[in-house]
Amino acid sequence: MTKKIYIYPTYTPNRDGSVGNLYIKHFHDAFDTNSNFSLVNRKGKIGITSLFFNLDADLFVIQWVDLIIHKQYGKIQFLFFLMGMITLRILNKKIIWVLHNKSAHKGESKLVDFAMKLMAKYSKIVITHSSEGVTFFNEKYRKKYGEKAHYISHPVYSADIIKSEEIQWDYIIWGGVNERSRVAEFLSFVKDNPFFATKKIVICGYCPDAGYKNKVLQNVTPNITFINEFLPDEKLAHYIARSGCVLFTYNPASVLSSGAMIHSLNFCKPMIAPNVGNFRDMEGAVYCYDTFEDIPLFDYPLTVDSKVISEYIEENTWAKFSGKIFTLIR
């Protein structure tokens, strides 16, 4: 029997066209094209409030509850979120929580903690894209709310392998530049470390915070290129293809999975990342560090196991992802 499914957040083309938001589009498309599901997302543009216009759905997939309070009219949206979850509970609807982060990216928040606790309590199934996500859920919530967490690898966005070009930079850091990315902190470390004196680094990402941008600029040296722009996919691919390694400098405190890592897989480049989340699950493609001091200690030149990447790409398509969810709910 076909299951009606509501997914929050709803994909909106004029808002979610960037690399970082393609996850939302592919997530919707995966269920929309699966004959086991019927996607219902009426009035998706009004945010979490749209839940009340889709109460005929059988399944409610809820993601990024940690971001609701930080949205426009966040407190009002948060109130509708609470009302929505209580309504679904009363109607005995099945809730699936996709757990992306351990905590709020924008600092500690009691409301975010409460939202996550509520999702842990009310959801029937919890999906996470890293083995650490299951461990995190079990350690924090299993005793009270049961063993609900399941690890399903983050699906890939493309099956294509993008060829490397002539190397111009030793490292590329790409994605949003903000406190969570720790780019300024990494550059401060680089400035005083002789290992990086001859290493060329390119940073591709827009920094919306003027104060944090100044911190980054204060630590930019002649061997570092900072492109403070949101780059379209083709231009970004050009920079990645001409870099020796993809480097992630994220704050490990909140990260459970990285979509940027999934995008980077197709370049078959060695990746260097904090020892957390789905980075840790990608042995053979990702070199994990505990502190920045570990990065110069790797055995350079770094290599990548192309078999690990090809198998991951083959096994983790979006079509297979929706199929795995269907298996779980049965």
Q: How far apart are alpha carbons 210 and 25 in whole angstroms?
A: 30
Q: How far apart are alpha carbons 31 and 61 in whole angstroms?
A: 11
- The four Cα atoms 315, 317, 321, 326 give a dihedral, to 10 degrees, of -90
Q: pTM for the whole thing?
A: 0.92
Dihedral over Cα of 315, 321, 323, 326: its sign: positive
pLDDT in tens, 234-285: 999 999 999 999 999 999 988 999 999 999 999 999 999 999 999 999 999 9
Whose tokens are 């789905």? That residue is 278
3-state secondary structure of 269: coil
Residue of 172, 140, 297 lying closest to 240 (CA atoms)? 172
pLDDT at 22: 84
Which residue ranges of the chain lie beneath pLDDT 50? 17-20
pLDDT in tens, 279-314: 999 999 999 999 999 999 999 999 999 999 999 999
Q: Which amino acid is at 313?
A: I
The secondary structure of 195-212, three-state, reads: HHCCCCEEEECCCCCHHH
Whose tokens are 């509970």? That residue is 89
Q: How far apart are alpha carbons 37 and 6 in whole angstroms?
A: 10
DSSP structure string for 34-68: -TTEEE--TTGGGGGGGGGG-TT-SEEEEE-GGGG
Q: Where are the alpha helices (DSSP H) in 242-305?
A: 259-265, 277-280
Q: How far apart are alpha carbons 68 and 78 in whole angstroms?
A: 6
Q: How far apart are alpha carbons 29 and 45 in whole angstroms?
A: 17
Residue of 67, 78, 141 lying closest to 101 (CA atoms)? 67
Q: Enumerate the β-bridge partners of residue 306.
A: none
pLDDT at 108: 55
pLDDT at 109: 79
Do residues 87 and 49 make contact, with C-beta atoms less than 8 angstroms apart? no
pLDDT at 105: 57
